[in-house]
Structure 1
Amino acid sequence: MRNYIDQISRTKLVKMISNHLHLPIVLIFLAMGIYYRIIHLDLQSLWYDELFSVLASQKSSLIEFFEIYSKETNPPLHGLLLFNWFLIFGNSPIVARSLSVVFGISSLIFLFYSALKTADFVQKKTFFISTIFLSVSFGAVYYSQEARPYSLMIFLTLPITIYYCNFWKKILLKQSISIYSFSLFLFLSLLLSYTHYFGFLFSLHIFALLGLLSLWFRSKRNIFIIFFGILLLVFLFLPEIYKIVNLLPQSQKISWIPKPNPTIYYEFFNYVFFINRLSNPWIIFVILTILFLYNMKRDGVKIEKININFYIPISILLLTLLFLLSTFFYSLKNPIITGRNLLVLAFPLIYASSFIIAYPARELDSKTVRN
């Protein structure tokens, strides 16, 4: 009897360790991601684009600041935040880059917290795997150490992408989108738009796809909410639309951008999925991820129906294809595509990839596991 009890105790201990093995793995990558975003901030001097951000944000008044940005091709949100950042912490190169560090680290913490908070098994795994990917994603790390808007842009795409996928599920289930959730979504989309003009294009594509899906399912309330949101977003972004239409095509600041070619897209995918500065990185990454995937159990958590969850990667694939196609055709006349501008798609691709990994064949059911 004693041996039987000891065996049961050992089995429970092994199961408990197995169920929580994913946490130290994710925490290792989280710590690694934070480390890479902090280390060597002062290794190189500020380059041309960073110098513009710093000089514009060092102005003595907001009137001078907005006067400069009235002729700048990028929206002013990052510069405005940097302006106030300098007022608090001073204006050294490290301070200038540290704002991007804050947004880079916040992105990782947001994903990790979302994983801990959600009760859905597949979503929990998706957030954890997304944390791993984003922690060591080359582009996310690199632009977390640069005094430019790209780290803020990536950070804002996190909640926007999650809202977008949740709204897809709502529409497919013929449920109404919450006014509160949509208001937050609209506000974040406006912030993203004022961070970078690719953020505005990204937001327009999201609203367009949600609107078309609502039309297809004849959801009158959702159609009204989404199209009202599009109109409000465009209205609130009108000052910058003038610059996009009139200043951007004629600006010498983007005259260096080539017409679309495979190198640009290779650069972008390298930014997203390259594992930065590790010895034999893919071997380490694959081993740890496999351990993570096969040791995370689903005891006591809910699994949503596959016919709904399965549309998450499909919704992101459609968004990515539509965005790449529209910017490609526009760039044939007025080139605007660069690897760093396409980083607005970085988290959506990471999220979709993580979801596909998190949904192995053995989970393709619609059962609910209860305590």
Structure 2
Amino acid sequence: MNFTSKLKANQLVLLLLVGSFLRLYHIDFQSVWLDEIHTINESNPSFSWSQIYGSLLASDPHPPLYFVLVQLCFKLFGYSTIVVRLFSAIAGIAGIWAIYLLGKEIVNKQTGLIAATLLTFSYFHIYYSQEARMYSLLFLTTTLSFYFLARLIKQPTLKHALLHGLMAALMIYTHFFALFALFAQYLILLFFILKPFSTSSKTAFRYGLISGVLTLVLFVPCFNIFLQTTKKTSMWIPSPTVDVYTQIFKEFFGQSELVLFLVCSVMLLFFIKLYSRPNFKSGQVVPETEPQVFAFLFFFTWIAVTLMIPLISSYVKLPMIVSRYFINILPAVLIMVAMGIYYIKNDVVKGLVLSFLIVFSFTDVVIVKGYYKNVTKTQFREATDFIKSNNSGKDPVVTSLGWYLPYFLDNGTEKTTIVDKPLQDYVNEMIQDSAKLKSFWYIDGHIRPYALNEAGEAFLNQHFIIDHKVDLYDAWSKHYLLKSDAKFKNADLKKFEPIGKVNGDPFAFAIGTFEGNENGVDLSGFAFFEGQDATATDVDVVLIGNGKAILFWTSTVRREDVAPYFHSNYDLSHSGFSAQLPSEAIPSGEYVIGLWLRDTKTGKEGLTLTDKTFKK
């Protein structure tokens, strides 16, 4: 066997290895966001199964399969975000194998391999294979359920009926959107009961009934959660737009125009091949002799039903269309694309089309989107880590997200007092009761605006300064320090003596705002060492004069605009800063404002004196 033959024989193994790398690499790079925290809280390893069920029933009405399996992983490997994401990644990797099986069963082995190749490099599937939610498992169970449906249609036996019934139950135990796919399966089964090709209608009906009854019986324990879902009278999901499914189709392929062009082109080949098929006198569809027609009947019913029911429901009852819910039709879409590629007769053209799809998809994930280095999820982990690193006074944390934060701040190893109420309510309590006037932290995120009325803002400005603040992706933390507790801190700058204009390693900077008056000093801007990321760089603002070097209370501010402005490929989003120092904390004298940068990763350190001065 030559090298090329060996490569073809081991193509699925190679795809699984590449798919594993793409789904495991930087798997814990992003913080868990709101929905993922739901998973972590509801799969708490200390919960009994009934507690998981009750938690889902009360706050997150989803079927329990994913949560029960995640809890088992927590018990075996530890209660951490990487464990739950690894479970999703494993389900995603198994999805590559599953789509190969389905493509092979519907058409042939080569179509299965092409479909598996497309899925391996799918941005949409990679993304949800690294998310601590049930979507990669939904893809897997749906694909296997349709695989066993195809086996049942081709070979109606008790074994295949039981396997399909079991897998269909696992599918709807993963996400309730799978019920639409299940309805599509029963329509497909009904067609082959009415138009059987290898057995009698009676036999086909009997095995279809066995499968359906098994699924129904297994679904009974989950019925109360499903019933709770149907009782909802409002949803966070917006009403669908006229092009909602067009946008979802684009999301399936990462919104990449090059990938979409190739995908639409090869799907057109699938339909051209389909339209060339003649009529059948008997009206029967035989999978072995008419794979194109069988595939169309199979996949079109699957896709059409799964799209149509939610669309109608969104207009007559409640909106329910969210792109990730439709990951259960992605296998059908990809196999239809794979069939279009398979029908290209010229092997060179076929190889080039598939190669271009792989290259464009991979480039889109790694380079265009910068998936493995750009932050796209709410940074709750980093915001709470900032609190833990700077909360030496054990001050309470005020937040409107109190249910979500105990995993980070009050989890057995960490013990922080969490006050679960909006900032406005907490400030009102301090206004009404001066005994409650104490330093505190405030954290929020997930597109929640900073909301405080003028009276509350004036009260905070009168009694507090912000000595620690971090502004991250969709999350922020602030420490409100009582002015009566504010003391200036000296900076040790002896290593830079004699201090000149630029000391140590040089860096780029700009002061955006500066205000120095009888109340103190406030300023903001950005600073970074050139030729490297700013993710590990600490920025401090210092007042230098009268033989003293006084540290400001300096906070990190997220600045997405800096890197594009300097045409830099480095991550400079953490280069922003804001700083303030109240007049009470500054000894009398004349001072120059300095910026002091230290990078914990590269070891660079520099001090630069700005042209800003202050006199008290």
Same structural fold, with TM-score higher than 0.5 when normalized by the shorter chain = yes
What code does the residue aligned with 2:129 have? Answer: S
C-alpha separation between the residues in 1 aligned to 2:243 and 2:161? 37
Aligned to 2:23: 37
In the TM superposition, what whole-angstrom CA distance separates every residue of 1:179-206 from its partner, at most 9, and x where no partner exists? 1012111111101111100123212321
1:227 offset after TM fit, Å?
2.9
C-alpha separation between the residues in 1 aligned to 2:11 and 2:52? 45
Query: Equivalent residue of 1:250, what SS?
Result: coil
**In the alignment, is residue 209 of structure 1 matched against residue 197 of structure 2?**
no
In the TM superposition, what whole-angstrom CA distance separates every residue of 1:39-74 from its partner, at most 9, and x where no partner exists? 112222111110011011114131322221232311
Matches within 5 A, 1:14-93: 22=8, 29-62=15-48, 63-71=50-58, 72-93=60-81
Aligned to 1:145: 130
C-alpha separation between the residues in 1 aligned to 2:258 and 2:8? 19
Query: Equivalent residue of 2:245, what SS?
Result: helix
**In the alignment, is residue 331 of structure 1 matched against residue 314 of structure 2?**
yes
Aligned to 1:102: 90
C-alpha separation between the residues in 1 aligned to 2:202 and 2:333? 30
Q: Are the aligned partners of 2:96 and 2:120 in contact in 1 as well (CA < 8 Å)?
A: yes
Pairwise CA RMSD: 3.3
Aligned to 1:307: 290
Q: Which of 312, 331, 344 is 1:347 aligned to? A: 331
**Of the two, which has the highest radius of gyration?**
2
Aligned to 2:209: 227
Aligned to 2:253: 273
C-alpha separation between the residues in 2 aligned to 1:47 and 1:65? 20
Q: Are the aligned partners of 1:73 and 1:248 in contact in 2 as well (CA < 8 Å)?
A: no
C-alpha separation between the residues in 2 aligned to 1:230 and 1:115? 21
Normalised by the length of structure 2, the TM-score is 0.47
Query: Equivalent residue of 2:323, what SS?
Result: coil
Aligned to 2:299: 316
1:151 offset after TM fit, Å?
0.7
Q: 1:94–1:214: structure 2 CA closer, same or farther, 3 Å change rule?
A: same
Q: 1:153–1:258: structure 2 CA closer, same or farther, 3 Å change rule?
A: same
**In the alignment, is residue 127 of structure 1 matched against residue 95 of structure 2?**
no
Aligned to 2:145: 160
In the TM superposition, what whole-angstrom CA distance separates every residue of 1:245-271 from its partner, at most 9, and x where no partner exists? 44344165xx11122324532343234
Q: Are the aligned partners of 2:162 and 2:210 in contact in 1 as well (CA < 8 Å)?
A: no
In the TM superposition, what whole-angstrom CA distance separates every residue of 1:295-350 from its partner, at most 9, and x where no partner exists? xxxxxxxxx85424541233211221122112211221222221111111111221
**In the alignment, is residue 189 of structure 1 matched against residue 168 of structure 2?**
yes
Aligned to 1:293: none
What code does the residue aligned with 2:82 have? Answer: I
C-alpha separation between the residues in 2 aligned to 1:209 and 1:23? 33
1:162 offset after TM fit, Å?
2.2
Unaligned runs of 5+ in 2: 267-286, 348-616
C-alpha separation between the residues in 2 aligned to 1:319 and 1:111? 15
Percent identity over paired residues: 24
1:166 offset after TM fit, Å?
3.8
In the TM superposition, what whole-angstrom CA distance separates every residue of 1:4-60 from its partner, at most 9, and x where no partner exists? xxxxxxxxx9xx566566467766654432222011122221111100110111141
Structure of greater relative contact order (alpha carbons < 8 Å, 6+ residues apart): 1
More strand by share: 2
Q: Are the aligned partners of 1:193 and 1:199 in contact in 2 as well (CA < 8 Å)?
A: yes
More helix by share: 1
Q: Are the aligned partners of 2:181 and 2:306 in contact in 1 as well (CA < 8 Å)?
A: yes
Q: 1:53–1:263: structure 2 CA closer, same or farther, 3 Å change rule?
A: farther
Judge which range, 327-336 or 216-225, deviates more.
Answer: 216-225
C-alpha separation between the residues in 1 aligned to 2:124 and 2:244? 13
C-alpha separation between the residues in 2 aligned to 1:326 and 1:93? 34
Normalised by the length of structure 1, the TM-score is 0.75
C-alpha separation between the residues in 1 aligned to 2:11 and 2:68? 37
Q: 1:356–1:167: structure 2 CA closer, same or farther, 3 Å change rule?
A: farther
**In the alignment, is residue 358 of structure 1 matched against residue 337 of structure 2?**
no
**In the alignment, is residue 179 of structure 1 matched against residue 144 of structure 2?**
no
Query: Equivalent residue of 1:320, what SS?
Result: helix
What code does the residue aligned with 2:124 have? Answer: G
Query: Equivalent residue of 1:70, what SS?
Result: helix
Aligned to 2:442: none
Q: How many residues align?
A: 318
**In the alignment, is residue 259 of structure 1 matched against residue 239 of structure 2?**
yes
Query: Equivalent residue of 1:157, what SS?
Result: helix
Q: 1:227–1:40: structure 2 CA closer, same or farther, 3 Å change rule?
A: same
Q: 1:225–1:24: structure 2 CA closer, same or farther, 3 Å change rule?
A: closer
C-alpha separation between the residues in 2 aligned to 1:275 and 1:136? 14
C-alpha separation between the residues in 2 aligned to 1:281 and 1:341? 25
